[in-house]
Structure formats: C-alpha cells, structure tokens
Amino acid sequence: MISEERVEKSLVYLAESDEPYAHAHATAKAIEKEEKIVKAQAFINAKRLYDTIAEANAVAESSREYHAWKERLENALVDFKLLENKRETEKVIWETWRTEQANLRNT
C-alpha cells in the first residue's frame, strides 16, 4: 500500500517540477537546433583547407566545436530525460494509489 504521505510527496514533486521540466525540454530543443549553425561554421573553416566537400564535411564533423555541441546536446537530453523519467515514476505512484483507493472503496 502506498501511504498518503508518499502520494503527497509525488504530487508536490509533480507540481514543483513543471517549470524545470519545461526549461530542460526547451534547452534540449534549442541546442538541437544549433547543429546546422555549428556544423556550417566548422565546414566553412574546413573548406578553406580542403578541396572536396566530403573532406570538409568530415573535418567539420570531427571539429572541437562540433564535438562540444554534441556533448552539450547529450547533457541537455540526459537532464531532460532524468526529469521526464522521475515525473513518470511519480505519476505511476499517484495512479497506483488511486487504484488502491478505488479497490478499498469497492470492498
């Protein structure tokens, strides 16, 4: 049985994590959209040194800037998924408690 204290803790967490969840989601989306800009800047720099587009593209994707962008994106996605998973866990606790309460009323 899930205690009322535990359910209250879940509801408080859900209420208080709305804004951080939204910010984490927005941050991940914003960083994701930066890929073309970061890659293009690295490509332009690489194109000065290499004759073919394939070479410049390969150099751009292996640049420090591109790798830094990928790491920022991965970190933002991890932060977002951790919040999302924790919120889902709290929702399961809430729903389980509701089911338990309904079952108690029916007995």
**DSSP code of residue 2:** -
- The pLDDT assigned to 51 comes to 86
- The pLDDT assigned to 106 comes to 86
Predicted TM-score (pTM) above 0.85: no
pLDDT digits (tens, 9 = 90+) for 5-64: 999 999 999 999 999 999 999 999 999 999 999 999 999 988 888 889 999 989 999 999
Residue that is written with structure tokens 């150099």 in the block = 59
Helix locations, the chain, DSSP H: 4-16, 18-33, 35-47, 53-61, 64-106
φ/ψ of 64, rounded to 5, equals: -60, -40
**DSSP code of residue 107:** -
Q: Residue 3: CB partners within 8 Å, gap ≥ 6?
A: none
